[in-house]
Structure 1
Amino acid sequence: MRLRRERGAGWRIAVGDRQTMTMALWLRDASGMSPDLDPEIPPLDPPVEVDKRLAALAGPRATAQWTGLWLGLWEGRLEDWFALKTFGPPGFELLVRSPELKKLVEAGFLEAARWSADFRLMASRGSGAPTSASREPAAVVRQLESELGRQAREFELDITVLPVAGRMFWPLADGGLAVSGNLLRDASAFRALLYDVLAPVV
């Protein structure tokens, strides 16, 4: 879901979430997994309690398979629309070669989907990832255009919002940017980050 989409003459910036990523993080936290990730991704905010039923399914193989799924999403090898279509019922086709993770996802899918939907609802109402902050990209582009004395060059930037703890950001392999919801809520910090990211491309 895109929380905000800004366009100008030849440029486009979209701010939103990736539902499969949010659900995968919920499954990680609710099952008590501790995957070895680089970069490390903080726990969800608000935090999720460990579900003993899911924890019983979160053995080393399930954790390794979850890590593979996450890397596919993180590195852009799995498009969110495709992952979302094949991640869940009825067939959980995306997980056919990950049997241990498939059992975990089958057990927690409804709760993960509900948590993700609640986050999206808060975001759309401005409490989960405020639309006021997501308007910052266009303002920064206008500022840079004014400083440079010309229109921005052609570019596209996708900003993925992760509902995780801390004020964090990460560059993505596809040229996009991931930010924590807490950083997005901090308008001054988000604007400063955008200035640094957009200055070389505008």
Structure 2
Amino acid sequence: MARGSGGWRIEVGDRQAMTLVLWLRDAAGMTPDLDPPIPPLEPPVAVVPELVSLVDAQATAQWTGLWLGLWEGRLEEWFTLEMLAPPRFELLNRSHKLRKLFAAGFPDAVAWANENRPAAGGATGRPAAVPGSVVKQLEGELGRRARDFELGITVLPVAGRVFWMLPDGGLVVSTSLLRDGRAFKALLYDVLASVV
């Protein structure tokens, strides 16, 4: 997290619920029609035949509804993780096909997500240092302090150096983009220029 002396705040973190849901998509070989399209996880997830056998059009539609709830910010992270947990998978009470898929894949999804969790702020300190330095650069260029703003940056372990703006104004970046200091700084400059 980066915080200014005024009222601005930038928080960099991951969303384990999104990673779990993407793991199930990849492991089950699902190909939902998403807008924007989300690349596969990185490192790649092997397709699990047991999970593939549980996928049909209804399970894919239910998965898409869950993903959109996460993507659009209608499902809070803490709530989703609690309500997707075994043994009841309460969030999926009305999505029976998806519930079966989660029950079969949940332990492996959690293990993968924990092992490959993006290092938001890791040992390099780059994610925490870069947002603050970009704000200072913009303050210097504008000749004033930054206005009050908040920016949430979600890091997803997906393939490629990609990013998206969320409907709620948040930013999603891939782990690869986060680790590319120059590209991440350039992206932040563009995003923050309109709010600082």
2:22 to 11, 22, 25: 25
- Ranges of 4+ aligned residues in structure 1 off by more than 4 Å: none
Partner of 2:57: 60
Q: 1:26 touches 1:44 (CA, 8 Å); kept in 2?
A: yes
Amino acid paired to 2:43: P
Amino acid paired to 1:146: G
Question: Distance in 2 between the 1:38 and 1:28 partners?
Answer: 15
Q: 1:133 touches 1:186 (CA, 8 Å); kept in 2?
A: no
Partner of 2:166: 172
Q: 2:26 touches 2:46 (CA, 8 Å); kept in 1?
A: yes
SS, match of residue 179 in structure 1? strand
Partner of 1:181: 175
Partner of 2:40: 43
SS, match of residue 90 in structure 1? coil
Q: Runs of 5+ in structure 1 lacking a partner?
A: none
Partner of 1:89: 86
The alignment status of 1:107 with 2:101, answered yes or no, reads no
Q: Runs of 5+ in structure 2 lacking a partner?
A: none
The alignment status of 1:157 with 2:147, answered yes or no, reads no
Q: CA deviation at 1:104?
A: 0.2
Give the TM-score taking structure 2 as reference length: 0.96
Q: CA deviation at 1:65?
A: 0.4
Question: Distance in 1 between the 2:140 and 2:2 partners?
Answer: 18
Structure 1 residues 197, 125: CA separation in 2 closer, same or farther (over 3 Å shift)? closer
Question: Distance in 1 between the 2:130 and 2:34 partners?
Answer: 30
Q: 1:44 touches 1:163 (CA, 8 Å); kept in 2?
A: yes
Q: CA deviation at 1:110?
A: 0.6
Quote the RMSD (CA, aligned, Å): 1.4
Q: 2:70 touches 2:76 (CA, 8 Å); kept in 1?
A: yes
Question: Distance in 1 between the 2:120 and 2:39 partners?
Answer: 23
The sequence identity of aligned pairs, in percent, is 64
Q: CA deviation at 1:149?
A: 1.2
Give the TM-score taking structure 1 as reference length: 0.93
